[in-house]
Structure formats: C-alpha cells, structure tokens
Amino acid sequence: QLSIDDIRVLCDAHSKPLELHFQYGTAGFRTLGNTLDSVLFRVGILAGLRSKRLDGKTIGVMVTASHNPEADNGVKLVDPRGEMLEAAWETHATVLANASTTDDFLHALDLFVRNVKIDLSKPSRVVYARDTRPSGVALISSLEDGLKAIGAEARDAGVTTTPILHYLVKAINTKGTKESYGDDSEDGYFKKLSDSFKKLVAGRPKITPLVIDCANGVGAPIAAKLVEYLGESIPLILENTSITTLGALNNACGADFVKTMQKLPPSLVEVLKPGQRACSLDGDADRLMYYYLDDRGYFSMLDGDKIAALVAAFIVDLVKLAGLESTIKVGVVQTAYANGASTRYLAKRLPVKCVPTGVKHLHHAAEHYNIGVYFEANGHGTVLFSPQAQETLANHEPSTPAQSTALNHLVNLTHLINQTVGDALSDMLLVEVVLAHKSYTGVEWNSLYADLPNRLVKVVVSDRNAFRTEDAERRLISPSGLQAKIDELVRRYDGGRSFVRPSGTEDVVRVYAEAILKTQADELAFRVAGLVY
C-alpha cells in the first residue's frame, strides 16, 4: 500500500528547482543532466503507477540523452510491449514533473490516481538502465527513490543501450508465453542476435572487417560483448571506446556527427582504409550511420534512407522467393527528411508512406503493413513483422527448396531484428547480412540510387509555435501566406523541394531543401530560411 508519508519525506529530498519547466517531448524529458533530480524521482513514481495501471506488467525506464552533448541527460518510459510510452501519459508526466512543491506534487498525484483510475493495491514492476553519462549515477539513485516511494519491484539492468532496455521490457512481459521474445537478459539478447546472424550468413563468402565508431558511449562495452558472441562470423574493429574520458561522448564522433557534418569522424582518418566499410553508433546505440572511403579516399555516407532502400528491397525479394507475395505485403515508412531519390527508388518497388518526424509516428504507421520497414534519414529505424506475418512464416509449407531457403531467411530475420525500437547493433548486423547475400561492397550499395544534394538549416524565431504544418510536415498552414511563397521559390529550382517545420527538441524552426545541384539546394535552403526569419 501507498504511504503518503513515505512519499512526502522522499519528495522533500528531491525538490523541484523553482525556475525550471520540464516537458516530456518526443525523446522523453531531456535537458542538462544536473537539473533532472526531481524529474527522475517523479518518473520513478509515474513508472510504478503505469505498471499498476497495467496490472503489474513491467515498465521500462531509460536514462539517456542519446546523441546530445555529454552534460545533457534525459529519461523516457517504455511500455510493456517494448514500445514508447502511450501519448496520453506524456501529458501526465509533464504535469507531475512541474508541480512546484511537495504539497502540489502530492495533490497532483492524488488527482491523477483518481482520474486515471489506478488501483494502488496492484503490484508494480519496473526495469531501468542508463547510458555512460557521468550524471547518470546520481539520476539513477533519484529514480530508485521514486520507485521505493511507490513500492515498485525494481530491477536494475545497469549500463546498457536503449534498444537492449526495450528488448528486456518485451522479454520480461512475454516470458513463458507463446509470444516469448527471448530470455530476459543481456545474454538472451546477444544469443538471439548472434545465433540468427550466423544462420543468415552461413555459406556466404567471409565478411571483410567492419570498423565501428562507438561514439565513446555505451555502444562500446555492449559491442565488445557482442563481438564475443559473434566469434568468427564477422570481424569487428571497435573505435571511440573511451567511455571514462570526460567530454569524449559524442564529441566529433558518432552517428549524429557523421549525418550533420557529412564527413568522417577525425578519429577515424588514420584508421579507415580506402574501400573499407565503417559505421557510427550514437550515445545510446539506437542510431546507425554507414560510410566508406572510395579508392581515391573520398568519403561516402550511407544514411537511414540508404539502409531502408537496401533492407526493404532485400525483404521484398525474399517474400517473392518464398512464394508469399500475395499474403505478405511489405511497406516502407519515411519522414519528409527522406531524400527524394530514396523515395523514388522505394516507391517503384513497394508502398511508401510519409509521416511526421519522431519514432512513435513511424513505428505506428509501420504496424499497418504485414512487414513494415521504417527508417529516419538520421539512422533510427527497424523492421516490424505483424503477428499474422510471423504466423504465416511459421506455418507456410514451401513447395521448392528455393522457397524453403527464403522462408528460413525471413524467419531468421524476425530474430535478428530488434522489433521493439531502432537498434544500431541489430541494424548493423542486418545490413551486413544483406551485403553478404548481395555480395555488395559499400560502392554497390551506394549506387542503388544517387542522393539528391540537400541542405538543412535551423532558424531561430521568436515563436516556433506559430509554425503549424500538415501533410506529414511537408506543408505549412500557418503563418498564413508563407507556404505560397515557399512554393513560388521552389518552382524556380530544378528538382527543388523544401519544407519548414518547428523542431520538437530545440527552440528553432528547421528548413530542409533539396535540388539537382548542390549549390541550388544550398541557395534554396537559405532563401526559404530568409522567408521564415
């Protein structure tokens, strides 16, 4: 039973800084790590209540700020099926985080418990983890106080990646059922990935060494463990593994650096050889960027769009080969940031849908297909197999050896892919499987289509909320008249496309433009930015 006195005492010890306002946004709560003590305590209570509301199912809590600078930190909740927190609770989280005093908080809590009809006598279970950020240690202990205050049964998953935490949540909640997602341990995760990977590349030519930029984050120790499980099946060279060097995390390395700078992390200049593949993880290992140096040493980047193109085309082919073309429909989900050339490439092969930015939008749209492939250009993405698709794969009787092989590959892909959320390490192995099957080097993969030159700029405006969009953020509905002016500009550029949207994570408006020529894409972006400003 809930003891208000216990909560009060602990809450007093985690008081909210008066001047700060917190918001549960697309990436949970995220701001400077040393301001988040009260938020973590309250999130502990909220996670316990969410579990009670869902009849004692296990809820996940991840402490991370992903690709952000080292001083930032954040926290997000994971629902029982391993998915992002239900949207309505994002609002509850924001309200509770902003109650200014202990009394206000207890009052808000009481109101919330009654409104949402939470039966406090139900059990509550929470599993939590953090990335390698120095502020994480203290934040975890604030979280633990919150879990203690609500009487939750707590399980510490230690220092691990965001996708492993999502995996654990799903594995715990499906344990002992026929939907079992795997053993609910890191070991279970590594075994699941490495066993399916080995089956998928069996009989293929030896894979050439792959360099992994671990962003000096949690991907480093986790990739090091994965290496042990993968054995000889793929040679991995781990770089940027300094997780205890202050200031190193995401600094001039990692997936976000590569995507925004469109260049090699300086730390890899001496490491990467012409022709060799490399990839970068971000600070919590849920984003992935590939790249290589060509024979002349020029850098080429293979982003989330290129991964989507590679993977979707491979899966479509396997479904055909397995004789399941008419029963299993494959589709792709992208955002407005997807390079126009990738959309054209994909749309020739399968249905493509565009949704607003943010993993929850992509994930939900992908659930509408039998097999849904979703990737953001920034490298976050995964593939979802619907329950019916998995059932079909399990029960289909192949009529030829070729069908049987394709069917096996598809089944193994359902194990290799972390279907709960984008997972850089799982996605990396997926890419390696496709490259091995196609006998592609980075060059051949890159030539599936040529990226249209593009430019992203951010504009500081007095009120970003004045910018409202429609059509999956591709058009503005306000400020009035602005979209017509953008259209008028875009018409003057060969292959021109541009859109403006308010950021969900920073107090800015983002302008994206692409055109046939690099100079034109730059010019279009800056002229549209001029309209916005």
Residues forming the site for ligand 16G (CB under 6 A): 26-27, 357-359, 376, 378, 380, 503-506, 510
Residue number with CB closer to Zn ion (145 or 286)? 286
| Two tokens, residue 516 | 């046939």
Strands of 497-502's sheet in order across: 454-459, 509-514, 497-502
Among Zn ion, ligand 16G, none, partner that 405 touches (CB below 5 to 8 angstroms by kind):
none
- Which residue has tokens 């302008």? 511
Q: Cβ closer to ligand 16G: 76 or 198?
A: 76
* Contact of residue 503 among Zn ion, ligand 16G, none (CB under 5-8 Å per partner type): ligand 16G
Which of 3, 15, 38, 66 is labelled catalytic?
66
Residue 83 binds: one of Zn ion, ligand 16G, none (C-beta under 5 to 8 A by kind): none
- Residue 90 binds what, of Zn ion, ligand 16G, none (CB under 5 to 8 Å, by partner type)? none
Site string for Zn ion, 344-383 (x = CB under 5 A): ----------------------------------------
DSSP letter string, 285-337: S--EEEEEE-TT--EEEE-HHHHHHHHHHHHHHHHHHTT-TTT--EEEEE-TT
Min dist. Cβ of residue 137 to ligand 16G (A): 23
* Complex with ligand 16G: residue 64 or 233, whichever CB lies closer: 64
Closest CB 422 distance from Zn ion, rounded Å: 8
> By C-beta, is 286 or 305 nearer to Zn ion?
286
Cβ proximity to Zn ion: between 26 and 414 the closer is 26
CA–CA gap between residue 291 and residue 286 (Å, rounded): 17
- Strands 371-375 and 381-385 turn out to be antiparallel
**Any catalytic annotation for residue 66?**
yes
User: Under the criterion CB under 5 A, does residue 473 sit at the interface with Zn ion?
Assistant: no
Residue 41 CA to residue 11 CA, distance in Å, equals 7
Amino acid at 282: D
Query: Binds 505, which of Zn ion, ligand 16G, none (CB < 5 to 8 A, cut-off by type)?
Result: ligand 16G
Q: Which residues, numbered 262-291, are part of the site for Zn ion (CB under 5 A)?
A: 282, 284, 286-287
Q: Which one, 284 or 303, has the nearer CB to Zn ion?
A: 284
CB 485 within 8 A of CB 475: no
Select the binding partner of residue 282 from ligand 16G, Zn ion, none (C-beta < 5 to 8 A, by kind).
Zn ion
Rounded CA separation 164/120 (Å): 29
Phi, psi (degrees; rounded to nearest 5) at 425: -75, -40
Evaluate whether 522 touches 474 at the Cβ level (below 8 Å). Answer: no
Q: Shortest Cβ distance from residue 376 to ligand 16G (Å)?
A: 5
Nearest approach in angstroms of CB 145 to ligand 16G is 26
Contact partner, 284, from ligand 16G, Zn ion, none, Cβ < 5-8 Å per class:
Zn ion
CB of 531 to ligand 16G, least distance (A): 19
Q: Shortest approach of Zn ion to residue 66 CB, angstroms? A: 3
Q: Which is nearer to ligand 16G, 26 or 267 (by Cβ)?
A: 26
The CA distances from residue 265 to 55, 219, 239, 291, 430, in Å, are 47, 16, 11, 11, 23
Question: Least distance to ligand 16G from the beta carbon of 502, Å?
Answer: 8
> CA separation (Å) from 451 to 141, 518, 520, 524?
46, 11, 14, 17
Of 203, 196, 207, give the one whose Cα is nearest residue 435. Answer: 207
How far apart are alpha carbons 225 and 38 in whole angstroms? 34
CA 324 – CA 326 distance, rounded (Å): 6
Residues 53-72 that bind Zn ion (CB under 5 A): 66
State the residue for tokens 């299993």. Answer: 328
Catalytic (active-site) positions: 66
Binding site residues, Zn ion, CB under 5 A: 66, 282, 284, 286-287
